[in-house]
Structure 1
Amino acid sequence: MKTRMEHDLIGDKEIPNEVYYGVQTARAQENFHITGVLLSQFPTFIESLAKVKKATALANYNLGTLEENKKNAICSACDEIIAGSLHDQFVVDMIQGGAGTSINMNANEVIANRALEILGHEKGEYQYLHPNNDVNKSQSTNDSYPTAFRIALFEKIYELIDSMNILRKAFSNKADEFKDVVKMGRTQLQDAVPMTLGQEFHSFATMIEEDIQRLVDAQQLVREMNLGATAIGTGINSHPAYAHEVELRLQEVTGRPFVTAKDLVEATQDTGAYVQISGVLKRVATKISKICNDLRLLSSGPRTGFNEINLPAMQPGSSIMPGKVNPVIPEVVNQVAFQVIGTDVTITMASEGGQLQLNVFEPVIAYNLFNSINMMKNAFETLAEKCVVGITANEERCKDLVLHSIGLVTALNPYIGYENSTNVAKEALDSGRSVYDIVLEKKLLTKEELDDIIKPENMIKPRERK
């Protein structure tokens, strides 16, 4: 294997000649065997790093601080990365010390070495184009890394919203399908009052729709960038007009409305936006998990549970109990929710752990936010496609439970009074007889009156008493 010699503050190091990363990336490879999850597994983040580097090259050129040939080579290298090339060269563990310096340098070195090739030079010939002097010009890790992180997070939230819309639509379609299926509503796992299965599924769709809006709101928080802050927000080592110019070039490169923070010192140390987004992810996960709990309850049985709906049978459920089919899709989504909820604590503590002008713990925040979004996206699409779209209703079972429920007496309360309703309910509980039969026996209502009151369409919405 041919090698090239590179050097940094620590000293000289041999680097395999075929790789595009350099000495600082190689040191990070040696130092950070933490998760085994590499930057290469997060393509959106890699593309966002390249977008930042392209925007800064354009800004520096426009301000006269970067030569045209270097600008062109850097931009060409970035375009290749944005298009999906060289992602295997991003080899740093997602969690590392140094506030993201290793990831920033991984990007700088890969872009520099590819740009050198474009210019007709060999990798490592940094006298012609340097990772720090040229690719990282007018930047620090402390502004380029957070900016790339926010760009990637902005895009990943769109992906999550898309998956939530798939799930919302699946529940909405089922709500239409089940609109005439009358069933018993329950509170505290006890019979309450009648409703339709369509109303129940429509409520699931509405819960998701509300949380999509919360995500849209939270997404706006990461539009604010600290690019131009350099080390701590003072803009040292950059042109006086650089912050404004790079803002315009970043909008041009990304096609998104990213803006420069008004106070770059504040923006460099503040990670509150990540806490807010993590909190919204926790909210989404909590509510979807609750829906999955409901699906498991409603499908429980089939002989000794609610058995109001049937979930698609996806795989055998037991190695010892023949014929058993488990609700495996809601179960796996529950577990994703537990992971996301726990991750919120990590993100909160990492944000709180920042000190003075910088929070060095953004790598663990990025790792966990990206992981949470990826898992949720996959889980929601799985829930929609492998579960919700295939749910069927057991209409007769639902109807039978309504007619034999003590909760039916609630619908009679305005007509026979609370005391009579209580007595009917108690007798039905003690005797095992139906509310319907006892009301007729006691002559509290005529059969015609009773049948009109308990018509499905009269029990599932407000009704003016005749």
Structure 2
Amino acid sequence: MSANHQFESVTLDDTKTWGKNTQRSLNNFPIGTEKMPKDLIKALLEVKYACALSNMTQGILSQEKGNAIMEAIDTLLDTDFMIHFPLSVWQTGSGTQTNMNANEVIAHIGGHGLHPNDDVNKGQSSNDVFPTALHIMTLSMIQNTLLPTLTQCIKTLEELEVQSHALIKTGRTHLQDATPLSFGQEVSAWVSMLNQNKSQIEDSLKYVLDLAIGGTAVGTGLNTYNGFDKDVCDVLNQRLNLNVKPQLNKFHGLSSKDALVNTHNAITTCATNIMKMANDIRWLASGPRTGLGELELPANEAGSSIMPGKVNPTQIEALTMVCVQIMGNNQTMTIANSQGNFQLNVYMPLMGYTLWQSITLLSDSLDSFTKRCLMGLKPITSKMAYNLEHTLMSATALNQTLGYDQTTKLVNEAHEKGLSIKEVVLGHQLMSEEDFDQNLNVKSMIKPYDIKGK
């Protein structure tokens, strides 16, 4: 490897704020349409601000230059700053071009003779700045967007659970009739799932709080002062209301992105439960004449270009497509993290974009589903009652009195003759109508029985 490379000269547009390194990246990576996400660039600018303030406070960067950097960053954050950041996700795997893009833009806007590398990038390397920005992005997006959206969905489900606690219907296992439960109990499963998913996502963030900043090129901290990492974290905590801290082993922080994979795993687990819930709802709403027909969905738009009056579960279809995308994204995150060779993982732009996409899509789709579907969901009580009346699985309650084998024969007879289980039991004079009604009281079938005398 030669250290005497002569890079091809580039022509810069005077109306642009970036410099030669950004322009070379634009020229050399004309790949796809995916650009570095705004949330990631915002996080990167915040990291740059914290680094400048830390260096200036220690006298390593002059007051003039430190203030110029911070003022430039504040100016960018107050404007549509993405016009200054045009680079593709598909670039060098360390995110170096995007780091240099930020350095060049800040130096240009800041003036005062700022040098992109010597001043804006002082005490930093793309190898520690970029993963630090990924962690800041992840924390901010999850805490400010995903978790509030998930909380609102859970709250809406809790209200539905309370409203439906006395509405008894037939249960289903293996897509076949099963013993009764209340619709409130059915909804309670969704509530419990999402509450646990929320906790799992929150728990995963304790690892994302560890930042790689201060590791510089390979994790040794070359070219930065002792304590720089803590100073940067302190500034970030103050500006962003976070609780980040330096990662103890910077070699780990640079070469692996396992904290991000872990968080994405938690998001994926949440997506699997959301997909289960969404599928339950669309099955229960199937019909309206020839399906299960136990739920009514809001009619938001025409469902068909040829079939008049058709209403489809469109919000559910959008939500479940997002869930599938997230599951695929999880495989991307897993493989990308496994490719950290020696002291650096070089799949960071891909991992950052993938995680950003998953958080964004799940937040947006779940918010839309909650507002445009869940809040308008209505149980069709007449159909629930009809299905409950005609199911044969309520006969399970007779096991206590007649035994499994005899009850099985009665169920088979009822099914073959098209009779109700009550008609068969009374026809065989196995018990009185009063005893039958007492044994098959559906309200007593949705909870364990009490032992007499206790």
Do they superpose with TM above 0.5? yes
- On the 8 A contact 1:108/1:132 being kept in 2, the answer is yes
- On the 8 A contact 1:299/1:306 being kept in 2, the answer is yes
Residue number in structure 2 paired with 1:391: 377
Per-residue Cα deviation, 1:417-443 (whole angstroms, up to 9, x for no partner): 223211210111110100122222223
State the Cα distance separating 1:244 from its structure 2 match.
Answer: 3.3
State the Cα distance separating 1:98 from its structure 2 match.
Answer: 4.3
| Counterpart amino acid of residue 328 in structure 2 | G
State the Cα distance separating 1:11 from its structure 2 match.
Answer: 4.9
TM-align CA RMSD: 1.7
Matched residue SS, 1:451:
helix
- On the 8 A contact 1:33/1:93 being kept in 2, the answer is yes
Task: Give the alignment of 1:178-217 within 5 angstroms.
Answer: 178-217=164-203
Structure 1 residues 129 and 164: alpha-carbon distance in aligned structure 2, compared to 1, 3 A threshold: same
Matched residue SS, 1:95:
coil
- On the 8 A contact 2:230/2:245 being kept in 1, the answer is no
Residue number in structure 1 paired with 2:136: 151
TM-score (norm 2): 0.94
2:50 to 27, 49, 55: 55
Task: Give the alignment of 1:52-451 within 5 angstroms.
Answer: 52-116=47-111, 119=112, 128-158=113-143, 159-451=145-437
Matched residue SS, 1:195:
strand
**CA distance in 2: counterparts of 1:205 and 1:9, whole angstroms:** 61
Per-residue Cα deviation, 1:288-330 (whole angstroms, up to 9, x for no partner): 1111111111111122211111111222222233332211111
| Counterpart amino acid of residue 438 in structure 2 | D
Matched residue SS, 1:377:
helix
- On the 8 A contact 1:289/1:333 being kept in 2, the answer is yes
- On the 8 A contact 2:297/2:376 being kept in 1, the answer is yes
- On the 8 A contact 1:193/1:408 being kept in 2, the answer is yes
State the Cα distance separating 1:449 from its structure 2 match.
Answer: 2.5
- On the 8 A contact 1:47/1:81 being kept in 2, the answer is no
Residue number in structure 2 paired with 1:3: none
State the Cα distance separating 1:202 from its structure 2 match.
Answer: 1.6
237-246 or 257-266, larger mean C-alpha shift: 237-246
**CA distance in 1: counterparts of 2:439 and 2:31, whole angstroms:** 66
367-376 or 29-38, larger mean C-alpha shift: 29-38
**CA distance in 2: counterparts of 1:98 and 1:461, whole angstroms:** 56
**CA distance in 1: counterparts of 2:59 and 2:405, whole angstroms:** 88
**CA distance in 2: counterparts of 1:205 and 1:98, whole angstroms:** 40
| Counterpart amino acid of residue 85 in structure 2 | F
Percent identity among equivalent residues?
A: 34
- On the 8 A contact 1:54/1:253 being kept in 2, the answer is no
174-183 or 370-379, larger mean C-alpha shift: 174-183
Matched residue SS, 2:169:
strand
**CA distance in 2: counterparts of 1:241 and 1:275, whole angstroms:** 28
Per-residue Cα deviation, 1:115-166 (whole angstroms, up to 9, x for no partner): 11xx4xxxxxxxx111111000000000111101100111111211111112
- On the 8 A contact 1:109/1:131 being kept in 2, the answer is yes
Structure 1 residues 79 and 403: alpha-carbon distance in aligned structure 2, compared to 1, 3 A threshold: same
Task: Give the alignment of 1:20-31 within 5 angstroms.
Answer: 20-31=17-28
- On the 8 A contact 1:403/1:436 being kept in 2, the answer is no
Matched residue SS, 1:320:
coil
Per-residue Cα deviation, 1:157-214 (whole angstroms, up to 9, x for no partner): 1211111112111211111222221110011011110001111112111111110000
**CA distance in 2: counterparts of 1:413 and 1:140, whole angstroms:** 71
Matched residue SS, 1:16:
coil
| Counterpart amino acid of residue 257 in structure 1 | N
Per-residue Cα deviation, 1:238-275 (whole angstroms, up to 9, x for no partner): 12342333333333333211111111122211211122
24-33 or 379-388, larger mean C-alpha shift: 24-33
1:14 to 11, 24, 39: 11
Unaligned runs of 5+ in 2: none
Residue number in structure 1 paired with 2:35: 38
State the Cα distance separating 1:446 from its structure 2 match.
Answer: 2.2
**CA distance in 2: counterparts of 1:162 and 1:236, whole angstroms:** 40
State the Cα distance separating 1:444 from its structure 2 match.
Answer: 2.4
Matched residue SS, 1:13:
coil
| Counterpart amino acid of residue 366 in structure 1 | G
**CA distance in 2: counterparts of 1:160 and 1:9, whole angstroms:** 46
- On the 8 A contact 2:93/2:348 being kept in 1, the answer is no
| Counterpart amino acid of residue 148 in structure 2 | D
- On the 8 A contact 2:93/2:345 being kept in 1, the answer is no
**CA distance in 1: counterparts of 2:170 and 2:451, whole angstroms:** 22
